[in-house]
Amino acid sequence: MAERKAAARAAELRRLIAYHDHRYHVLDEPEIPDAEYDRLLRELQALESAQPSLISADSPTQRVGAAPLAAFDEVRHSVPMLSLGNAFDEQELLDFDRRVRERLECEEVTYTAETKLDGLAVSLRYENGALVCGATRGDGSRGEDVTANVRTIRAIPLRLRARGVPRVLEVRGEVYMTLAGFEQLNARQRGAGGKEFANPRNAAAGGLRQLDARITATRPLTIYCYGLGAVEGAAVPDTQYERLQWLDALGFRISPQVRRVRGAEGCLAYYREIAERRATLGYAIDGCVFKVDAIADQQRLGQVARAPRWAVAYKFPAEEQPTRLLGIDVQVGRTGTLTPVARLEAVKVGGVTVTNATLHNQDEIDRKDLRVGDSVVVRRAGDVIPEVVRVVDDGAHADRPRFDLLAAVGGACPVCGSRAERAEGESAVRCTGGLYCAAQRREALWHFASRRAMDIEGLGEKVIEQLVARDLVHSPADLYALDVDTLAGLERMAQKSAGNLVAAIAASRETTLARFVHALGIRDVGEATAQALAHWFGDLAPLMEASEDELVQVPDVGPVVAAHVSGFFREPHNREVIASLQHHGVHWPALEPARTAAAAPAAPRALEGKTVVLTGSLSMPREDARARLQALGAKVTGSVSKKTDFVLAGAEAGSKLARAEALGVPVVDEAWLESLVGQ
């Protein structure tokens, strides 16, 4: 009796919460305060916790909490998701309307008009009223399975409660972020010392494509639905406008700006109205979409390549305004790139006051011939990121000095004072103080601690952010001075986890030269190059003193990488950090340097010039197997092709093994590798 009562109450709570989700997230008409909604949700969570058998896939408690994915699966769309052709001016829209009328042989066409959202297109598949799949558009035929993520978006119903629900229903829509939600998200990022997002579209797309749905749930995402894919088991309205109203009745969120208009004049009037109201909508749009209203006419018109003949996106022009370039500042990014930023006389562009704009790099400044004091035109590119478009010659432009980024910073990083350099053939200027520079601190620490570098388990991005924000760590060397009490004072870090992290940091003191070189974060020095450098020089001291001419003698090291390595070790700040790391006990076994044998005829290695792919579970760590293969002269790659010489397969090998067998590539095991090592 008690179980039946609990089940009935759980069902009623699910119904109530779904109703209030729809009122709040779809209709924007909440009926109860947040505290009452939270009480209902907590009651349902308590019931399901006491009786797990009550949990259902469409329960609102299941919107968050799926385990992180290793990668997205592929979804093939049963009905392709088409792109839209664009019109960029009035004449192009009139031409579109003319072509439609000519093909339909009529004098005037009725269109459904909608705003063109700047988000990410998705397809939602429902079977018997339950959401079973959410997918990105991808290439239009195949997308990525983001079901766990779309389930976190409260404007998307998990189960359709209306009558006459189709057996199969695919709904197409645009996931986006409101401007208010975008500002709140960036405020949280700033508060946590994280990276801010450039614009709402990037934030929405990045949020929807997180491998961990719990991260997606923290993003203020919503959706407007605009069309259908496959539908089975229900009669569907025969106009675009009525289909949208039908979706609205089923509980989906549609744009309140949807309207029927008549002919090209109706489209133009709608476009002008939306352009005037654009700044007040509360979300980013980049134009208007016009679709032939009658579905039968859409079918008659068909499509060209991936775009329908019956629809067009009339894009807004990027809004431009004149202003003055007051100065050029230089900022240092997290990877050490020095970026020039324009300081502008404040100007209103697209409803937003603009005072700064990125100038990208020296080449861009030179191309536009930008000089401090110039009159310039500013545009909000993509309606979000301000950019300086061009100079307006005021008669004094030629008399103003040209801007040189390296000269402006005196050849040094403005944050840490390390040498700044611009590699030949590249546009970017970079700071060489990677281990020391405060601007690069988070990135340097994260890379240093990563699994393929020093492998410090438990030292993730959240912990690093706090260590940097609290000024506890200035370089990787400072990690080795941390104690349990200091770490236990961080958020979400108890005594036990702090002790585990201190132990992991201590364990990382014993490493290999290849790992250590990779951990330093030298530009263009990945695992394979670090392995080659370690194998060639045998120890760090000769590597640090090597000239560029000596470095290019290392197999697979060319002039560009040699310059990066030499420049890194020439920087005094980097050498100071390395000395401090060694002072704190970081060490590795010295190797027999391959360069000493380079002068003598080299004995042929068993796998010289061979390409090997690893797959499956091995008895040894994957990195050890890779190192052994490389020591035998093999090149280890990640994918199987006709050029692969061997596939070394362990237990539970999957698709790579199947592909090797299909291509006739020889498959070997660990015993084969051991036999070669023993030769």
Domain CATH for 257:
3.30.470.30
End-to-end CA distance of the chain: 74
| Judgement on whether residues 591 and 624 belong to the same structural domain of the protein | no
Under a CB-based contact definition with an 8 Å cutoff, are residues 347 and 363 in contact?
no
Residue 75 maps to a domain: no
Whether residue 202 is found in the same domain as residue 351 = no
Check: CB of residue 289 under 8 Å from CB of residue 311: yes
Contact 44, 58 (CB under 8 A): no
Q: Can you tell me the distance from the alpha carbon of 478 to that of 448, in angstroms, rounded to the nearest whole number?
A: 12
Which of 255, 283, 315 is where one domain is finished? 315
Distance from C-alpha of 623 to C-alpha of 620, rounded to nearest angstrom: 8
Query: And the tokens for 300?
Result: 């008659």
CB 629 within 8 A of CB 612: yes
Distance in angstroms (rounded) separating the CA atoms of residues 73 and 655: 14
Residue from 459, 461, 495, 497 nearest 480 by CA: 459
b (16+ CB within 10 A) / e for 83-109: bbbebeeeeebeebbeebeeebeeeeb
80 within domain boundaries:
no
Same domain, 55 and 149: no
**What residues are paired with 117 via a beta bridge?**
285
Query: 266 and 403 share a domain?
Result: no
The reported pLDDT for the residue numbered 5 is: 76
From residue 258, give the alpha-carbon distance in Å to each of 374, 477, 529: 44, 59, 56
pTM over 0.85, yes/no: no
The continuous run of DSSP H or E covering 313 comes out as strand 311-315
Whether 610 is a known active-site residue: answer no
Q: 390-397: list long-range contacts, CB under 8 Å, 24+ apart.
A: 392/322, 397/369, 397/371
Same domain, 542 and 668: no
Residues 286 and 241 in one domain: yes
* AA letter at 504: A
Per the domain annotation, does 382 fall within a domain?
yes
CA distances from 634 to 176, 532, 591, 607, 645 (A): 47, 12, 19, 5, 10
The catalytic position among 116, 291, 635, 656 is 116
Q: Is 542 helix (H, G, I), strand (E, B) or coil?
A: helix
Residue with tokens 């990135």: 443
- The CATH number assigned to the domain holding 657 equals 3.40.50.10190
Spatial distance between the Cα atoms of 205 and 176, rounded to a whole number of angstroms:
8
Whether 291 and 389 share a structural domain: no
Q: What does the alpha-carbon distance between residue 512 and residue 425 come to, in Å, rounded to a whole number? A: 34
In a domain? residue 235: yes
Question: Which residues of the chain, if any, have pLDDT below 50?
Answer: 25, 64-69, 382-383, 599-601
Say if CB 280 and CB 115 are below 8 A apart.
no
Q: Which of 545, 567, 602 is the last residue of a domain?
A: 602
Distance between CA 416 and CA 437 in Å, rounded?
A: 5
- Contacting residues for 136 by C-beta, under 8 A, at least 6 apart: 120, 121, 122, 143, 144, 146, 208, 209
What pLDDT score was predicted for residue 381? Answer: 55
Q: Are 458 and 432 in contact (CB under 8 A)?
A: no
**Residue 436 and residue 460 in contact, taking contact as beta carbons nearer than 8 Å:** no
How many beta carbons lie within 10 A of that of residue 281, not counting itself?
16
Residues 99, 169 within the same domain: yes
Residues 238 and 344 in one domain: no
Which tokens in the block code for residue 312?
Answer: 């067009």
Q: In 3D, which of 128, 186, 119, 129 has the Cα closest to residue 153?
A: 119
Measure the CA–CA gap between 520 and 531, rounded to whole angstroms. Answer: 13
Q: Are residues 122 and 223 in the same domain?
A: yes
Would you say residue 182 lies in a domain?
Answer: yes
What CATH number should be reported for the domain holding residue 440? 1.10.150.20
Provide the domain count of the chain: 5
Residues 118, 262 share a domain: yes
Query: Does residue 427 form part of some domain?
Result: no
DSSP-assigned letters across all residues of 234-249:
S---SBHHHHHHHHHH
Contact indicator for 400, 372 with CB cutoff of 8 Å? yes
Instruction: Report CA-CA distances (Å) from 115 to 350, 351, 460, 606.
Output: 17, 18, 41, 64
Q: Count of CB atoms within 10 A of residue 645's CB?
A: 15
* List of residues 6+ apart from 153 with CB closer than 8 A: 175, 216, 221, 222, 223
Name the 3-class secondary structure at 655.
helix
Last residue of a domain, one of 290, 315, 340: 315
Is residue 421 situated within a structural domain? no
Q: Categorise residue 336: left if φ over 0, alpha if ψ from -120 to 50, beta otherwise.
A: left
Q: Mark whether 517 and 458 lie in a shared domain.
A: yes
Residue with tokens 């093909």: 103
Tally the residues of the chain: 679
Distance, CA of 436 to chain centre: 27
Q: What is the pLDDT of residue 68?
A: 43
Euclidean distance between CA atoms 615 and 650, whole angstroms: 6
Nearest to 173 by CA among 203, 204, 215: 204
Strand 646-649 with 667-668, pairing: parallel
- 74 found inside a domain: no
CB 629 within 8 A of CB 673: yes
- The whole domain housing 633 covers 611-677
